[in-house]
Structure formats: structure tokens, C-alpha cells
């Protein structure tokens, strides 16, 4: 395989990573005898089964695509071994050789979206950054979503929450923290998060506030099942009081979801 083609595959991989697109890099790591492609051949497999490049085509490549999708769902690499000898025994070819293919999932970076840049939002952003998460902050008050206010965020997006989704779409490795100033703001944002791919959406407020917000959303036609996907009130119950303590309870809950 030419260095130019390998370079193309790796460039596409880097672009996908920058855009937060999950995919798998499939690489032929060992080839013996007669096989379609030699060691070093690479192919990218996207979540929907699309591919870029090839590791040989045919039945073997079809199986690799399915295995790659499974590896992506599990978030774990795997090594595949195929003999291309006897299709009657289940081999994916008749070339006569053997091949080993390594599947390496590339997931979007674990990202905490902090919506609301008040005292709690600032504390959450600081702690999430310290814990190694990528941090995106947003507030409809432009003066708050600024590096001077939250220096530890990677990306600052002032303005409506829709601007965040346009710039940094949610993935299943996204964790959304709604720590806004009131129910009115929540009501403009929560409908945009219904059935999102994010692994976690937490909403700050007392049980009474969430009960009120929940009823308003139900009146808008959002179902009980959709609302049950949210973590509200947000965070583990630690009897937290200060913004820093609340941030610990929120990030503890996110870590629990992330590591599960």
C-alpha cells in the first residue's frame, strides 16, 4: 500500500476526530500466503457501515465491517483472524492464505457541555477540566461565556444553545450539564436535547423546580419516557451546598455514567 494512500486514510481519520465523528481504523497486521491485501492495508469504518479504503473486499471485508461496528459500540479494540481456504467450513474466501486484522475504535473525546456560566457552571467547568474532560461552555449572556470568566474551558460559545449544537454536535461521549438561572431558560433548551445521543443530560434545580418544569414539558407533548432519560435534579446526593460541592456531586454522577 502506498504511503500516499495511507496518508489519505490517516488525514480522513484526523478530520473525523476533529469533527467528533466515531469510526474504526481496520489494519491488516499480519498476512500469510495468498491474501487480497498485504500487511499495512487500512480501511476506515463509520458507525453507519460506510467505509473508506479497503482491506480486500468480498466476504472478509463484509465481516470486518460488521465486527468494526460491534467494536465501536463496545468502545474496545479487537483482533480478527481469518483463514481464506475453505468457504464450506465458514472461511470468508478461497485465496489460500491467512490474515489478521486489528480494529481500533476512535470515539469522540469525552466532552462536558456546561450550559449556564454562573457560579456553579464555573465550578463545574473547572473541575471537569481538572478531571481530563474536554469542556464546552455556553450562556445566552455573552459576557459570561468568555475565557476571562471561565479560563479552563476549551471552547466558549456565547449566545443561544442552538449555536452550540451547530458548532459542536452532541455525540454519545457527550455529557450535558444544565445549570441555568431559571425555568424559562431551561424550557428553551430541554426540547433541543430530547432523544439526543448524549450519554448524560443533567438539569440543576430543586425537586420542586424539576416537577414544575417537567409538567410544562409534558404539556408541550414531550413524553414521560423522554423526560425519564434526564438526570434531574442533577448530581449525586451529597448534601452539597457551595458551588464547588455541587460541582463535585455533578461530576461524580457524570463519572459514574462515563465509566459504566
Distance CA 11, CA 34 (A): 30
Instruction: With residue 59 as reference, give the H or E element that holds it.
Output: helix 58-74
pLDDT tier, 85 (very low <50, low <70, confident <90, very high otherwise):
low
pLDDT of the residue at 3: 59
Q: Indicate the SS3 state at residue 106.
A: strand
Per-residue pLDDT tens digits for 95-114 = 667 888 999 999 888 999 99
Same domain, 241 and 133: yes
Same domain, 87 and 196: no
Q: Are residues 97 and 115 in the same domain?
A: no
Asked whether residue 135 falls in the same domain as residue 229, the answer is: yes
Q: What is the mean pLDDT of residues 68-73?
A: 92
Expressed as residue numbers, the domain containing 41 is 3-106
Whole-structure pTM value: 0.76
* Boundary residue ending a domain (106, 138, 163): 106
Cα separation, 255 vs 118, whole angstroms:
22
- 129 and 97 fall within a common domain: no
Number of domains in the chain: 2
pLDDT for the residue 128: 98
Domain match, 169 and 204 both: yes
Angle formed at CA 38 by CA 34 and CA 39, multiple of 5 degrees: 130
Residue 72 shares a structural domain with residue 141: no
Residues 253, 136, single domain; the answer is yes
Kindly state whether residues 52 and 165 are assigned to the same domain. no
Look up the CATH number of the domain holding residue 152: 3.40.50.720
Amino acid at each position: 500500500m502506498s504511503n500516499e494512500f495511507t496518508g489519505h486514510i490517516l488525514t480522513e481519520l484526523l478530520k473525523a476526530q476533529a469533527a467528533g465523528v466515531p469510526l474504526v481504523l481496520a489494519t491488516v497486521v499480519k498476512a500469510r500466503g495468498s491474501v487480497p491485501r498485504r500487511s499495512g492495508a487500512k480501511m476506515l469504518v463509520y458507525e453507519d457501515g460506510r467505509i473508506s479504503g479497503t482491506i480486500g473486499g468480498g466476504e472478509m471485508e463484509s465481516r470486518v465491517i460488521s465486527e468494526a461496528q460491534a467494536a465501536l459500540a463496545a468502545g474496545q479494540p479487537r483482533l480478527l483472524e481469518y483463514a481464506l481456504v475453505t468457504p464450506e467450513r465458514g472461511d470468508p474466501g478461497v485465496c489460500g492464505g491467512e490474515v489478521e486484522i486489528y480494529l481500533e475504535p476512535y470515539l469522540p473525546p469525552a466532552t462536558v457541555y456546561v450550559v449556564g456560566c454562573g457560579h456553579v457552571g464555573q465550578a463545574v467547568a473547572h473541575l471537569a477540566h481538572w478531571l481530563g474532560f474536554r469542556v464546552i461552555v455556553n450562556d445566552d449572556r455573552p459576557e459570561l461565556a468568555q475565557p476571562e470568566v471561565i479560563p479552563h474551558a476549551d471552547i466558549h460559545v456565547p449566545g443561544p444553545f442552538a449555536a452550540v449544537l451547530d458548532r459542536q454536535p452532541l455525540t454519545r461521549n457527550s455529557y450535558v450539564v444544565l445549570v441555568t438561572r431559571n425555568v424559562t431558560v431551561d424550557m428553551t433548551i430541554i426540547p433541543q436535547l430530547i432523544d439526543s445521543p448524549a450519554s448524560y443530560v443533567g438539569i440543576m434545580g430543586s425537586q420542586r423546580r424539576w416537577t414544575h418544569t417537567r409538567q410544562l414539558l409534558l404539556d408541550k407533548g414531550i413524553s414521560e419516557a423522554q423526560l425519564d432519560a434526564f438526570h434531574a435534579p442533577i448530581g449525586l446526593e451529597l448534601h452539597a451546598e457551595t458551588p464547588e460541592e455541587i460541582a463535585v456531586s455533578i461530576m461524580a454522577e457524570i463519572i459514574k455514567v462515563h465509566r459504566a
